[in-house]
Amino acid sequence: MNNNEFRKGVIQPVECFKEGWEIIKNDYWLFFAISLVGMLIGGVSMYILVGAMMCGIYYCFLQKIDGEPASLDGLWTGFSYIMPSLIVTVFIVVPVFVMLGIIYTPIIMAAVMGSKLSPDELTQLLVGAFAVDFVFILFMTCFHTLLIFSFHLIVDRKLGGIQAMLTSAKAVWNNLSGIAGMIGVGILLSIPAMLTCGIGVYFLLPIMLAGYTVAYRKMFPKIGMNYNPPPPNAYQG
């Protein structure tokens, strides 16, 4: 299997999360620390290092799933992929900030400058902004879903940023029902976590990341592993 090949129809959403939990549960607090530290560094760096941190996080999860020991030191491996990961980050983050600026700048300017908008005009402005915002959120959710395995591919298959995004999009598109099911399950799991004032999300994060990494490994088996057994007649005699 080469770097761009992937398997189809192998994603069972609930099973991926179950398998991910079984794999990391004995080292849960280690992966909690890896996820939290990586996210914090990505955030304080104004998202410049978020791609490198995601590569480091997934490197650790892939190590564990592939039967190798994982450690917090593996997080720093992400810095080896800073350039290709930065390309993916730009495609993910920049459109969000640009669109938010387009949507909310008129509202902010009207408030700051004391615009004499009538109640009807203000209502139309707000409704229009929220409508555009909803459409944009829907579009970006679909777009980000297509790129969801880009960082895995950079680390695991050593692909460049653009090639990783294209390969991820193709793999997701060909396993769309399974990935959509995983997103649905993830939303259901997130609801009780959000009810704890968002604190539960941090504890749920390692399980979510493990589930998606299991799904990735099912589509992109480790290079050198044989996932296609020989036919029964190969053993005759």
Q: How confident is the model at residue 225 (pLDDT cuts 50, 70, 90)?
A: low
Spell 112-144 as b/e; 16+ CB within 10 A means b.
eeeeeeeeeeeeeeeeebeeeeeebeeeeeeee
Lowest mean pLDDT segment, chosen from 5-9, 57-61, 194-198:
194-198
d(CA 124, CA 36) in angstroms, rounded, equals 41
C-alpha distances in angstroms, 203 versus 30, 32, 43, 75, 97? 12, 7, 18, 18, 27
C-alpha distances in angstroms, 178 versus 9, 172, 184? 7, 9, 10
Using only C-alpha atoms, what is the Rg of the chain? Answer: 21
Are 210 and 58 in contact by the 8 Å Cβ rule? The answer is no
Percent of the chain with pLDDT over 90: 65
Q: How confident is the model at residue 182 (pLDDT cuts 50, 70, 90)?
A: very high
Q: What is the mean pLDDT of residues 179-202?
A: 91
User: Above 80 in pLDDT, residue 194?
Assistant: yes
Question: What integer pLDDT is reported at residue 198 of this predicted model?
Answer: 81
Q: Which residues contact 49 (CB under 8 A, 6 or more apart)?
A: 41, 42, 82
**Tokens for 125?**
């402005």
Are 146 and 139 in contact by the 8 Å Cβ rule? The answer is no
Question: What integer pLDDT is reported at residue 127 of this predicted model?
Answer: 77
User: Above 50 in pLDDT, residue 237?
Assistant: no
Q: Which residues contact 234 (CB under 8 A, 6 or more apart)?
A: none
d(CA 45, CA 37) in angstroms, rounded, equals 12
> Bigger pLDDT: 130 or 236?
130
C-alpha distances in angstroms, 17 versus 20, 32, 69? 5, 16, 20
Q: How confident is the model at residue 234 (pLDDT cuts 50, 70, 90)?
A: very low
DSSP string, 19-36: HHHHHHGGGHHHHHHHHH
Q: What is the pLDDT of residues 115-125, one digit of tens each?
A: 566 677 667 76
- Sign, CA dihedral 76-24-93-163, equals positive
- Sign, CA dihedral 122-128-132-135, equals positive
Q: What is the mean pLDDT of residues 12-34?
A: 96
Are 23 and 213 in contact by the 8 Å Cβ rule? The answer is no
Q: What is the mean pLDDT of residues 53-81?
A: 95
Q: How confident is the model at residue 233 (pLDDT cuts 50, 70, 90)?
A: low
